[in-house]
Amino acid sequence: MSLYTKSVVAVFFLLFGLVAVLCMLTLMGRAERKTGATFLRRLHKIAGALFALMYLVISYFCLHYVEMAGEGLSTRAVFHGVLAVALLFVLALKISIVRFYRQFLRYAPGLGMTVFGLAFAVFFTSAGYFFLVTGETTGAEEPISEVGRTADAPKGERLFENQCSFCHYADKAESKLGPGLKGILKGKTLPASGRPATPENVTRQLLNPYQSMPSFSSLPKEKIKDLVAYLKTL
């Protein structure tokens, strides 16, 4: 599953949490409702169940990421993981109260809001970050004056920091989420595809990725040239 796909799943995760919270707030805060209480309770349960399912799906892929990254987790990734564990604890506590310890039911709404707050934070330290750094580069067209210019390695470095550092190291060959890229164009083959290590095949990997890497086909050609120029310096 690509980073983009996982980020879309995370959007639904947050959306189902929002629906559950809105149902709860409507049930508790509005004496007069156009929608029946029974329907709202049922919708709250369904949205909550889908929220938990999305959490489990995302957790599976995040654990795979942690396994691949090993000790190379970034500070953001560690913070994301701590928030996710806290979310799981509070969610489990809320479910336990609702199902088994109903004498504490008055605390359930507050725990529900805490769950959503943690879900919001978890989303924006992962999927939100991914959409942000992707949009910084893909959202703007290349100026006409840039067409035909010489490839610029420093610009490629900035592009790498925004687009690639989430998954790849630039200063070592160890794997992060994807393979480390140090010396990528100085060896015989590319680390994942096994194709000859040439600028053309790096460009091909960016536009038509091998395996689970997301496609960067929306990047302007000049920016791809900048990125390849930077990779040559690693």
Q: Is the pLDDT higher at 149 or at 112?
A: 112
Same domain, 116 and 94: yes
Does residue 111 lie within any of the structural domains? yes
Same domain, 121 and 49: yes
Same domain, 31 and 91: yes
Banded pLDDT at 142 (limits 50, 70, 90):
very low
Select from 93, 109, 133 the last residue of a domain.
133
Provide the 8-state DSSP code for 193.
T
Which residues partner with 196 through β-bridges?
A: 189
pLDDT recorded at residue 60? 83
pLDDT tens, 177-224? 788 889 988 888 888 778 888 889 888 888 888 766 777 777 788 888
Domain encompassing residue 79: 3-133
Same domain, 9 and 75: yes
Same domain, 117 and 203: no
Q: Report the number of distinct structural domains present in the chain.
A: 2
Does residue 201 lie within any of the structural domains? yes
Same domain, 28 and 113: yes
CB 79 within 8 A of CB 118: no
Same domain, 95 and 8: yes
pLDDT at 36 over 90: no
Torsion of CA 8, 157, 64, 49, to 10 degrees: -20
Same domain, 112 and 219: no
Does residue 176 lie within any of the structural domains? yes
Residue 130 CA to chain centroid, in angstroms?
A: 5
Banded pLDDT at 141 (limits 50, 70, 90):
very low
CA-wise closest residue to 155 among 85, 78, 225? 225
Work out the mean pLDDT of the chain and round it to a whole number. 81
CB 170 within 8 A of CB 160: yes
Same domain, 102 and 64: yes
Tokens (6 digits) for 102? 């109903």
Does residue 138 lie within any of the structural domains? no
pLDDT tens, 143-186? 434 445 588 888 989 888 888 888 888 888 888 878 888 998 88
Banded pLDDT at 74 (limits 50, 70, 90):
low
Tokens (6 digits) for 71? 């000790």
What CA–CA distance (Å, rounded) separates 185 from 165?
A: 17
Same domain, 13 and 128: yes
Same domain, 185 and 212: yes
Same domain, 162 and 83: no
Does residue 139 lie within any of the structural domains? no
Share of the chain above pLDDT 70, in %: 81
Does residue 187 lie within any of the structural domains? yes
